[in-house]
Chains A and B, each alone.
Chain A
Amino acid sequence: MTDQVRQALADVSSAANTFLETTDDYDQLLATIARSCAGVLHATCTVSLIDDGGETITPVAMHDEDPAIVAAYPYLGQSVSIGSSAMRALREHDVLYEPNARANGYAAAAPGMRTFLESIGALGYLVIAMRVRGEMIGILAVFRRRAELPPLDERERGFAVHLAHLAGLAIANARAFRSAEQTQRLHDVTKFVDAVLENIPAMVFVKDAERLAFVRMNRAGEELLGIPREQLIGKTDFDFFPQDEAEFFVEKDRATLHGDSTVDIAEEPIQTATGTRWLHTRKVPLRDSAGVPRWLVGISHDITELKQHVASLRAAKEAAEAANRELEAFSYSVAHDLRTPLRSIDGFSQALLEDFGDQLGGVGAGHLNRVRAAAQRMATLIDDLLMLSRVTRAELKRSHVDLGELFRTSLATLQRLDPERRVAIAISGELHVSADPQQLAITFDNLCGNAWKFTSKRADARIELGSHVEHGSRVFFVRDNGVGFDMQYAGKLFGVFQRLHSDSEFPGTGIGLATVQRIIQRHGGRVWATGEVGHGAMFSFTLGE
């Protein structure tokens, strides 16, 4: 062997060895085989692999000293036929050796091959089977086209056979490596899927399409059912669940496998070791490459607690509504029944005054008048408390409201009841809002009523409504120049029955501002008061969105 031959063999050997350690040089290996072969034999060399079926080949690498020859070759990567007799000959004899093919008019070559031989002007050719453990996996083809060289001889044939043997080994190694690599990758993917499946907090199971027996169950599923997977695998629903339940599951399984999309079962009961649980389940068909459903994948989320929470929420809501209805009935009775005796107290006191006034005398009449005043005050208290409870119970219905109009209406009513008074009224600012008109009318009745009352001792009384923007939200205010209040009691103003003035000074029930606060809070707003003794009060509020 010449050095060149030795070198070529070493190249292929080293490429084969290198290939055992690297992963992505399969193409490089095939190119090395073709180049080494072409270089030593001064010939055109192709490496082809046998296709599935064994009757055709696909050329995968080619080398010639003249790149134009390679560029003109149209079959790289394409399945081609070299003729069944040629294939058979190769299987039986390993070598097709035609050193003088052109001289013979390419008589032995298949038509497809003949075209190629003609196109490169091949003088002769050598085709050698590459084998792995006896099985032919491809062919190494050598074409002599340069006329200045002698025909391919026995020595060159021996070299080519040796090279084909080495190439076959290298390709086999590469394939084994690639397969091992794929196995490893598959193993990694499986591990990843396993980790996900085993740790996902939902039951995931797989059944075979034919028997609907479990082939897989994850840990969440084992825990949910209370059955270890060893007992589940290979068994069907009928082995674990009541007949009707199993039938339901299987019916859904079949529907899933026959349909072509996911089946969603919003709620299904399942018997487990710890009693009935409720599942939200999704079932998916898994098909093979031919489209035949092979597996059924099920994913179930335990919604038992969720259902319980929903049920208890519903129960709580119903209880609250019942309590509200009861309160309403109670309020109705209070409105009707508590007022009736007051009417008797007041009416018969008046009757006594009228019919027996002369016998009662001044003191007696005075006492009876106090009885009447007390009865009337209690009636007012009842009315105010009813208002407070009604405000709390009534549904909030927002619509467009002009606060200026509510303000004017409230004050007009007060003026009508107290025609002697002269009160200056001022309105300014943006006053259009979205709010409950009835509830805001109550608010203004209270705020204006207070302002009216607490300015009653002033000749130059003034009541003002306005608005301004504070920290990005609109603030409305009702301001008066009445007796005002001490800021240290500002917090008490909005409490029920909290009053800052004696009844003889300014009458009132102490419920009005509590009602105002409740209305504003129900609107998502805030109400507060500022004032100074002798210098009036200002009630400010926001209304939320």
Chain B
Amino acid sequence: MNDRVILLVEDNRDDEELTLRALGKSKISNRVVVARDGVEALDYLFKRGSHANRPAGEEAQVVLLDLKLPKVDGLEVLRAIRAHDDTRLLPVVILTSSVEERDLVDGYGLGANSYIRKPVDFTQFLEAVRQLGLYWLVLNQPVPRR
């Protein structure tokens, strides 16, 4: 499972570190690529810009996507992912602070696979990250690579 890359799209450094910590605490040792805004996330996924030369085989297996992002926001990133043939079936988990009904509806409407609200309580956060890692990286069978 180690070859499965997690793409964490998160602009807040604290949240980034806490998520990485939670992943580590949950014994999820997959490589985590962090994109700090929507543009960078799409560059990684579509091998563009600063990620134009990334090696093949480092395709993201799951995207942990914050909604409130600089430049291109999370819902736009999701829209682009679903619009592109290569990433159309890529699991995307929205990981955000918002529980606005509108964000939930829009997120699922654009094809998010899951929607998780980051709990303030780190103990709960840890549990959430552990469960989603277990589910998406271990239990869930990915789409076969072409």
Contacts and interface: CB of A to CB of B under 8 A. Distances in A.
Contacts, number: 56
Contact of B14 (A337, A348, A376, A378): A348
A197 interface: no
A341 B14 CA distance: 8
Nearest to A379: B120
A128 interface: no
A343 B100 contact: no
Interface in B75-125: 96-100, 118-123, 125
Is chain A's binding surface mostly helix, strand, loop or mixed? helix
Contact of A336 (B14, B98, B120, B123): B98
Contacts of A257: none
A347 B122 contact: yes
Contacts of A375: 120
A343 B68 contact: no
Contacts of B99: 335
Nearest to A338: B97
A343 B118 contact: yes
Is chain B's binding surface mostly helix, strand, loop or mixed? loop
Contacts of B43: none
Contact of A350 (B68, B96, B100, B122): B122
Interface in B1-40: 12, 14-15, 18, 21
A332 interface: yes
B120 A351 contact: no
A346 interface: yes
A340 B125 contact: no
Interface in A339-379: 339-344, 346-351, 372, 375-376, 378-379
Contacts of B98: 332, 335-336
A340 B96 contact: no
- Residue among B100, B119, B122 with most chain A CB within 10 A: B122
A336 B15 contact: no
Contact of A335 (B15, B100, B122, B123): B100
Given A336-B68, A350-B123, A376-B120, A344 B14 contact: yes
B122 A336 contact: no
A332 B120 contact: no
Contacts of B12: 340
- Residue among A337, A339, A348 with most chain B CB within 10 A: A339
Nearest to B118: A343
A375 B121 CA distance: 8
B21 A347 contact: yes
Interface in B39-98: 68, 96-98
Given A339-B120, A343-B122, A346-B120, A351 B97 contact: no
A89 B98 CA distance: 115
B15 A376 contact: no
- Interface size grouping (class) on chain A: 20 to 34
A341 B12 CA distance: 10
B58 to A, nearest CB: 28
Contact of A346 (B21, B68, B96, B122): B122
A470 B118 CA distance: 46
Interface string A300-337: 00000000000000000000000000000000100111
A495 to B, nearest CB: 26
A376 B123 CA distance: 11
Contacts of A332: 98, 100
- Residue among B14, B120, B121 with most chain A CB within 10 A: B120
A340 B98 CA distance: 10
A350 B119 CA distance: 14
B96 to A, nearest CB: 7
B96 A343 contact: no
A346 B100 contact: no
B123 A343 contact: no
Contact of B121 (A336, A341, A346): A346
Contacts of A351: 18, 21, 122
A339 B120 CA distance: 7
B97 A335 contact: yes
Contacts of A344: 14-15, 18
A66 to B, nearest CB: 105
A344 B14 CA distance: 6
Contact of B15 (A340, A378, A379): A340
B126 to A, nearest CB: 8
Contacts of A349: 122
A28 to B, nearest CB: 91
Nearest to B12: A340
Interface string A363-404: 000000000100110110000000000000000000000000
Contacts of B96: 336
Contact of B125 (A336, A337, A347): A347
Nearest to A394: B101
A43 to B, nearest CB: 109
Contacts of B100: 332, 335
Interface of B: 12, 14-15, 18, 21, 68, 96-100, 118-123, 125
- Listed from nearest, the 6 A-B pairs whose CB atoms lie closest are A379-B120, A344-B14, A347-B18, A350-B122, A347-B122, A336-B97
28 contacts: A332-B100, A335-B98, A335-B100, A336-B96, A336-B97, A339-B97, A339-B118, A340-B12, A342-B120, A343-B14, A343-B15, A343-B97, A343-B118, A343-B122, A344-B14, A344-B18, A346-B120, A347-B18, A347-B122, A349-B122, A350-B122, A351-B18, A351-B21, A372-B121, A375-B120, A376-B120, A379-B120, A379-B121
Given A336-B96, A376-B121, 13 more contacts: A332-B100, A336-B98, A337-B97, A340-B12, A343-B122, A343-B125, A346-B120, A346-B122, A347-B122, A349-B122, A350-B122, A376-B120, A378-B120
